[in-house]
Chain A
């Protein structure tokens, strides 16, 4: 009698485990299946020669979803997506800084956090120079420094901001 019950319980447990394994396999398969497909989340984008990059402003490159700028001889490839909620951050020529109209985050020319609700500075792309052309890889993202980190360049706003709340 007790042997019978033991076998019955053993089989019941086996079925439960079997179902659990199948559910796990289904979850694992679905999870991997729905990951972004490689090649559809960015890649190398050929842009311009480094000597065409301005040293006091930025150059917008729509194909790479970002801006190129030069700071103390070093090229920076900055992603235009606001690290707050993903709006495109426009460059404000009059103040010489990035100003996001969505929620008012402001960044300096290097994309470093200045103020606003964003949690960190703007993200940048890794890039290489191939045949004299800057080639950022939009799938290789360097996250910006957290809000509150000191700015590494000394470029205070040079004029009125585009983000004037009384404008518009």
Chain B
């Protein structure tokens, strides 16, 4: 009997897991069903759908990268003040004076680029799988929204180091809103908080980057995964008929 079995069979273990036995598939299904961490997964899946060539595991790669971004992003927040007079100096300080500061920033930067890549590739792979077809139409739409949110997150984060790369890329990006008919000028002004990229813009992008967009992304990912689980189970019902 393994250590985990002993723990599961103890009184606290029974209180947490409720299913001490892990012998038959039925035990495992009961354990899976009763687990908070596993409840985003279906209990069983079709064999072909868990293979590499089905999804290339790009969805789970995106999730892992998002996790890496949250973790490294929280570290960065300890050393960053979103103001034009301090932002650039904070990055220099982080890179030169803080232990592993440069490393954490590298992780955040490369995870962000890779996440954009992984999400886009996930979408392309799911297109070729035909995963936008019934019953998955809605989850495809949710996925497109997630792609847009990922791009917005990456773009708002691009401004925060307040270097030349950031400043002018965001100037170009926000200038495009001016050409949206009717509301473009107003929406551009709301993004910038003025007529050019400045202190207000930095603050607004920071709030979007660390609060608004991550919250939206987490919420919509939950819908995406919940729907994935439901649709996978629907596939099994079709297969067993």
Contact = CB atoms under 8 A, between A and B. Distances in A.
Report A-B touching, CB under 8 Å. yes
Interface of A: 31, 34-37, 40-42, 65, 81, 84-87, 102, 119, 138-139, 141
Given A35-B189, A36-B189, A36-B200, A85 B176 contact: yes
A34 B190 contact: yes
A144 to B, nearest CB: 13
The 9 closest A-B pairs by CB, nearest first: A86-B175, A41-B194, A85-B175, A86-B171, A85-B172, A34-B190, A41-B195, A36-B194, A36-B189
A35 B38 CA distance: 44
Contacts, number: 46
Interface string B170-200: 0110111001000000100110111110111
Contact of B196 (A34, A65, A85): A65
B56 interface: no
Contacts of A87: 168, 171-172
Mostly helix, strand, loop or mixed at chain A's interface? loop
A165 B204 CA distance: 37
Contacts of B194: 36, 40-42
Interface residues of B, number: 19
Contacts of A138: 195
Contacts of B175: 84-86
A37 B174 CA distance: 18
A160 to B, nearest CB: 26
Given A86-B172, A102-B172, A40 B198 contact: yes
Given A86-B171, A87-B172, A40 B200 contact: yes
A123 to B, nearest CB: 10
B104 to A, nearest CB: 31
A16 B56 CA distance: 46
A40 B200 CA distance: 8
Interface centre among A34, A37, A119 (most CB of B within 10 A): A34
A49 B45 CA distance: 78
Contacts of B189: 35-36, 41
Nearest to B179: A119
> Which residue, of A34, A84, A86, A102, has the highest number of chain B Cβ atoms within 10 A?
A86
Contact of A86 (B174, B190, B193, B200): B174
B172 to A, nearest CB: 5
B192 A36 contact: yes
A92 to B, nearest CB: 19
User: In this complex, which of A31, A41, A138 has the most chain B Cβ atoms within 10 angstroms of its Cβ?
Assistant: A41
10 contacts: A35-B186, A35-B190, A36-B193, A40-B194, A41-B189, A65-B196, A85-B171, A85-B175, A85-B176, A87-B172
A119 B175 CA distance: 12
B215 to A, nearest CB: 15
A87 B197 CA distance: 11
Contacts of B168: 87
Nearest to B193: A36
Nearest to A138: B195
